[in-house]
Amino acid sequence: MSVLVDQQTRLIVQGITGKEGTFHASQMIEYGTIVVGGVVPGKGGTTHLDRPVFNTVLDAVKEAGANTSVIFVPPSMAADAIMEAAEAGISLIICITEGIPIQDMVKVKTYLASKSCRLIGPNCPGVISPGKAKVGIMPGFIHAPGSIGIVSRSGTLAYEAVNQVTLLGMGQSTCIGIGGDPVPGTSMKEAVELLMNDPDTEGIILVGEIGGNMEAETALYIRDYGTKPVVAFISGSSAPEGRTMGHAGAIIGGKHDTAQAKKEILQSCGVHIVDSPADMGKAILAALGK
């Protein structure tokens, strides 16, 4: 079993004819993901990468049975693209776009509250269930089917965790890049809950960072409902207060936003903390007693 994406995923790519959309759609097709088409207003009726292009997401749902969308459109258009997908009945929306204005995402979150869909991102690498489906920009070749779930605010550190787990022979069940923006579609706690409820996930690696309260919220959930070992790395230990570090959401606003504060609450709730990203794989192996 996996969460979010699998062999039943029927994917459309919003913005498929652009440079990024073309490259990553090709990679997803090569990986084996079922890509049923793309959506580019005004280009309906054409084909791209041997897939049909539709004018609207609703057309893609009606004509190709799409149930998942990945978004590669400019920041100024991304909020509308997300809401269009939700309105059309897409159940899983993964937004790769970086730089979406915060006020646009606040509007999106309010809109999605009345819809039966899940948003991953924005500003994220996507989701992959190795051997089943890849929806996003992650390098598929470093992943291997297995039993470790990974939830990360950082794309590059997620890849580091993946590579370590692969080299240690454990593989991954599902890797979820939730993104580094201040207003994410799916929180860290929500992603961890999905993996806690997945029978094929034995252990979980969390990659957090400074800014916001997601790690604290996740820690309390693990304390109260966790049934599997969790290892966490929190980046930004040397970040100065008030300065954005990398991601728009990675900024220390107070003493509870620091890396040290996040480590302390996670550790107090039973999470195994590593101080170096090089130790994530070894730590989850040890936590599982292997």
In a domain, residue 4? The reply is no
Catalytic residue among 24, 143, 247, 272: 247
And the tokens for 246? 């990398």
In sequence order, which ranges of the chain are alpha helices (DSSP H)?
19-31, 57-64, 75-87, 102-112, 155-167, 188-196, 214-225, 259-268, 280-287
> Is there a single domain that holds both residue 161 and residue 273?
yes
> 93, 120, 147 — which closes off a domain?
120
Domain-ending residue, one of 59, 91, 120: 120
In a domain, 250, yes or no: yes
- Single out the residue in 120, 153, 182 at which a domain terminates: 120
Spell 249-265 as b/e; 16+ CB within 10 A means b.
bbbbeeeebbbebbbeb
Verify that 184 and 225 share a domain, yes or no. Answer: yes
pLDDT of residue 60: 98
Q: Counting beta carbons within 10 angstroms of the beta carbon of residue 269, is it exposed (0 to 12), middle (13 to 18) or buried (19 or more)?
A: middle
Helix (H) or strand (E) holding 173: strand 172-177
Phi, psi values for residue 217, rounded to 5°: -60, -40
112 and 236 share a domain? no
Q: What is the CATH number of the domain that holds 87?
A: 3.40.50.720
* Residue 166 included in any domain: yes
- Residues 105 and 147 grouped into a single domain: no
Name the token pair of 65: 């049975």
What CATH number is attached to the domain comprising 280?
3.40.50.261
Which three-class secondary structure state does DSSP give residue 172?
strand
Same domain, 53 and 174: no
CA gap 108, 269 in Å, rounded: 32
| 160 and 113 belong to one structural domain | no
Q: Say yes or no: 155 and 90 in one domain.
A: no
- Would you list the DSSP string of 195-222? HHT-TT--EEEEEEESSSSHHHHHHHHH
**Quick one: pLDDT at residue 252?**
47
Residue 25: inside a domain:
yes
Both 153 and 265 in one domain: the answer is yes
Q: In terms of domains, do 209 and 89 share one? A: no
133 domain residue, yes or no = no
pLDDT in single tens digits along all 290 residues of the chain: 679 999 999 999 999 999 999 999 999 999 999 999 999 999 999 999 999 999 999 999 999 999 999 999 999 999 999 999 999 999 999 999 999 999 999 999 999 999 999 999 999 999 999 999 999 999 999 999 999 999 999 989 999 999 999 999 999 999 999 998 989 999 999 999 999 999 999 999 999 988 788 999 999 999 999 999 999 999 866 545 545 545 444 444 555 667 888 999 999 999 999 999 999 999 999 999 98
Instruction: Tell me whether residue 3 is in a domain.
Output: no
Instruction: Examine the domain organization and report whether 115 and 187 are in the same domain.
Output: no
**111 and 161 belong to one structural domain:** no
**Which range of residues forms the domain containing residue 250?**
138-287
Catalytic status, residue 272:
no
Q: Are 101 and 159 in contact (CB under 8 A)?
A: no
Do 62 and 10 touch, CB atoms closer than 8 A?
Answer: no
pLDDT (0 to 100) of residue 65: 98
Q: Would you say residue 1 lies in a domain?
A: no
Domain match, 93 and 181 both = no
Give the chain's domain count: 2
CA distances to 37, 118, 264 from 123, in Å = 22, 15, 27
**245 contacts 220 by C-beta, under 8 angstroms:** no
In whole angstroms, give the CA distance from residue 182 to residue 179. 9
pLDDT of residue 238: 52
Residue 6 CB neighbours (<10 A) = 14
Place of tokens 């609703």: 58
Whether a cis peptide bond, with omega within 30° of 0, leads into 122 is yes
